[in-house]
Structures are given as C-alpha cells and as structure tokens.
C-alpha cells in the first residue's frame, strides 16, 4: 500500500529550487515514481504490486495499481459504497485503469453524538460488488476493527468471503484480457455504460451500474434492506448470470435504445448480465461464477 503522496507543505524547501506550490500537483506522480524505482532497484518489478491512493497525470506511468481511498462505512454516493464505485469508474477515465476499493470501507466513528460502524449487510454487499468491479480483491478491517463487522466475524461472514473471492477468481481469464489491454493502451477494465455505448443518451446518465469490459454488465446493490435493483440494458441480447434467462433489450419508451428492467438481487446473487453471443472466455466465466456463488465447504 503506497499511501499518501498528496501532502506537501507549501513552505517546504525543495532540492530543485522550485516552490512547493509549483510542485504540489505533480508531487503524487513523483511519489509513485519513487516507489516504482525502489521496486525496480530491489529487483522486484515482476512480482510485487503496490497500489497508490493519490495521483497526478503522470501517476499511471509509474503506479502498478490504485485504490479508491478511505470511504466511510456507509452506503451513499458522498463517501460510501456508491462513491467507491463512482471513484473507480471516473478514475479509469483518468488513466487509473487498474483499481479497487477497500471491501467494506475503512473510516468509522464511535462517538456519543455520531456512530458510523460497518454493518454485516454493507460488508457483504461491498464484497459482492468488489468481486466484479475490483482488479484486486482486498478486505480491510477499518480503523475500528473491534467494533465492526469483519470477514472473519462468524461462519456466515467467512462463507460470503469464500464465495465472493471465488467469484473474483472465476473472472480471472476474462479480467486478464482486460488488464492486458489496460497495460497496452490504458483501456479501463471497469467502465461506465457510456464507454461502450456512446450513442445511447441514457447511458450517459448511469452511475449505479457498470461494465466489466464490453461483455459483462453489473448493477450492484447500493442501498440497505433491498433485494431488487433497477438497471438499464443497452440494446442487444443479454443473458442473466444466475438463471441464464435471455433478454432482448430494445427501446419501448424514452430516449434510449435499450430496456429498463427490475432485477432480482438477493444476497449472494447481484444483478449481472453477459452480452450475447458468449465467447469461450465468457462461457467459462458464467459457469465458474455460478459454481462460486453456490460453493459450500
């Protein structure tokens, strides 16, 4: 974890003679460069990965990965689960194509006037999303580990961890192709819907769903106590991951060319759809995801 990098005091005196104000915005990139050069000098460039929290325009040249920072252990789009998704999606458009978030969030508060503690439901839903969205599947105990739900809290939590980690692993052959394209061209594996469907006006207003590459669409549960999500399928044929039901998405009303649907998303089965026709890689991923979600030790 290559934390920080965004802090440089404005009264700092730099070896180059430049003012700290002039270097301020470039400093995260210099920090990432320093970490990468240290990795190379240690002879570990091929087998060590570090992830950066801060970034500047040059950071993607140096950092091997990024992460979305220290979200509150809440659901919302201001600094919670939904904000982590938006941060990763927007980061991908800015060159931070290999990214992830702390599963379950990080920042908690336990004061008499304000309590923000991680619930089991939030942790489970965050792991579900991360199985599909994150390049690295990594949990975090948070800043108050003894007062919050953890992946090791009980047998149910360990089972959810096992299943979601297996989902993440099931996507490796597909994700590997996306990461190779990211390394070659900067193409983000995690994408806003409009990235693949720029001519669809509805796609430009979607921030609660995402595409993993061009062939897998996911709408994570971003609110507590719900098991249904509303999502938009761009025009085409889509197969529901869990039931293999095929949906022909086409415009019936509104401005878009696709279809709005209400998808059942019980715990452990997030709303996910593969674009048809399936490729050998996505066919394999579909079967292995189904097996992972049903895993029983």
Catalytic residues: 3, 6, 70
Strands 216-219 and 210-212: antiparallel
The answer, yes or no, to whether the previous bond of 277 is cis (omega within 30 of 0) is yes
Strand partners, 249: 236
What DSSP designation does 201 have? G
Could you give phi then psi for residue 41, rounded to 5 degrees? -65, -25
Residues 6+ apart with CB under 8 A from 9: 20
How many whole angstroms separate alpha carbon 168 and alpha carbon 175? 9
Longest dimension (CA), the chain: 64
- CB of 173 closer than 8 Å to CB of 189: no
CA separation for the pair 290, 120 (Å, rounded): 23
Q: How far is CA 261 from CA 68, 228, 264, 278, in A?
A: 29, 10, 10, 21
Beta bridge partners, 268, equal none
Alpha carbon dihedral 18, 24, 29, 35, in 10-degree steps, equals 80
Residue 33, φ and ψ in degrees, nearest 5: -60, -40
Apex 152 CA angle, 133 and 296, nearest 5:
75
């Amino acid at each position: 974890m290559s934390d920080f990098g965004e802090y440089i005091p404005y009264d700092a005196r730099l070896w180059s003679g430049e003012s700290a104000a002039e270097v301020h915005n470039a400093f995260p990139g210099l920090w990432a460069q320093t970490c990468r050069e240290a990795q190379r000098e240690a002879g570990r460039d091929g087998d060590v990965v570090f992830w950066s929290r801060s970034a500047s325009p040059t950071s993607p040249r140096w950092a091997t990965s990024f992460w979305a920072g220290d979200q509150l252990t809440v659901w919302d789009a201001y600094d919670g689960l939904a904000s982590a998704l938006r941060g990763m999606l927007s980061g991908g458009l800015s060159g931070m194509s290999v990214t992830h978030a702390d599963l379950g969030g990080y920042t908690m508060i336990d004061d008499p006037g304000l309590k923000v503690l991680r619930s089991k439901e939030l942790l489970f839903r965050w792991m579900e999303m991360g199985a599909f969205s994150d390049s690295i599947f990594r949990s975090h105990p948070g800043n108050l580990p003894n007062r919050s739900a953890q992946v090791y809290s009980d047998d149910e939590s360990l089972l959810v961890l096992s299943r979601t980690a297996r989902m993440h692993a099931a996507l490796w052959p597909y994700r590997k192709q996306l990461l190779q394209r990211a390394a070659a061209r900067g193409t983000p594996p995690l994408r806003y819907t409009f990235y693949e469907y720029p001519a669809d006006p509805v796609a430009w207003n979607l921030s609660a769903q995402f595409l993993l590459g061009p062939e897998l669409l996911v709408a994570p549960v971003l609110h507590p106590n719900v098991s249904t999500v509303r999502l938009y399928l761009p025009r085409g044929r889509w197969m529901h991951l869990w039931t293999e039901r095929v949906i022909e998405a086409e415009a019936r009303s509104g401005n878009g060319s696709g279809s709005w649907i209400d998808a059942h998303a019980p715990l452990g089965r997030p709303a996910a759809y593969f674009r048809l026709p399936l490729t050998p890689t996505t066919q394999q991923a579909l079967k292995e995801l189904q097996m992972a979600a049903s895993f029983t030790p």
